[in-house]
Amino acid sequence: MHSSIVFTFNLRYGCFIQGMCTLTLSASFPALKPIECLSSICPPATPPQYVVFFIGLYLVALGTGGLKSCVPSFGADQFDDTDSQERIKKGSFFNWFYFTLGIGALVSSSFVVWIQENAGWSLGFGIPTLFMGLAIGSFFLGTPLYRFQKPGGSPITRICQVVVASVRKRDLVVPEDSSLLYETLDNSSVIEGSRKLKHTDELR
User: Looking at the structure, do residues 108 and 181 belong to the same domain, yes or no?
Assistant: no
Lowest mean pLDDT among 3-7, 10-14, 65-69, 195-199: 3-7
Same domain, 197 and 98: no
R_g of the chain, CA atoms, integer Å: 24
Angstrom distance (rounded) from CA 94 to CA 127: 26
Instruction: pLDDT band for 164, please (50, 70, 90 cuts).
Output: very high
pLDDT score of 152: 67
Domain membership flag for residue 152: no
> Could you tell me if residue 11 is inside a domain?
yes
My answer on whether 135 and 100 are in the same domain is: yes
Q: Is 112 in the same domain as 171? A: no
> Among 127, 100, 102, which residue's Cα sits nearest to residue 114?
127
- Domain extent, residue 179, equals 162-204
The Cβ of residue 97 has, within 10 Å, a number of other Cβ atoms equal to 14
Residue 185 domain-assigned (yes or no)? yes
Shared domain check, 29 and 122: yes
Cα distances from 113 to residues 16, 73, 96, 127, 148, in angstroms, run: 19, 31, 24, 11, 38
- Residue 41 main-chain phi, psi, to 5 deg: -100, 120
Q: How many domains does the chain have?
A: 2
In a shared domain, residues 189 and 99: no
Rounded Cα distance, 94 and 82, in Å:
18
- Whether 153 shows a pLDDT value over 70: the answer reads no
Does residue 10 form part of some domain?
yes
List Cβ neighbours of 20 (8 Å cut-off, separation of 6 or more).
56, 60, 125, 128, 129, 132
25, part of any domain: yes
Asked if 174 and 138 sit in the same domain, the reply is no
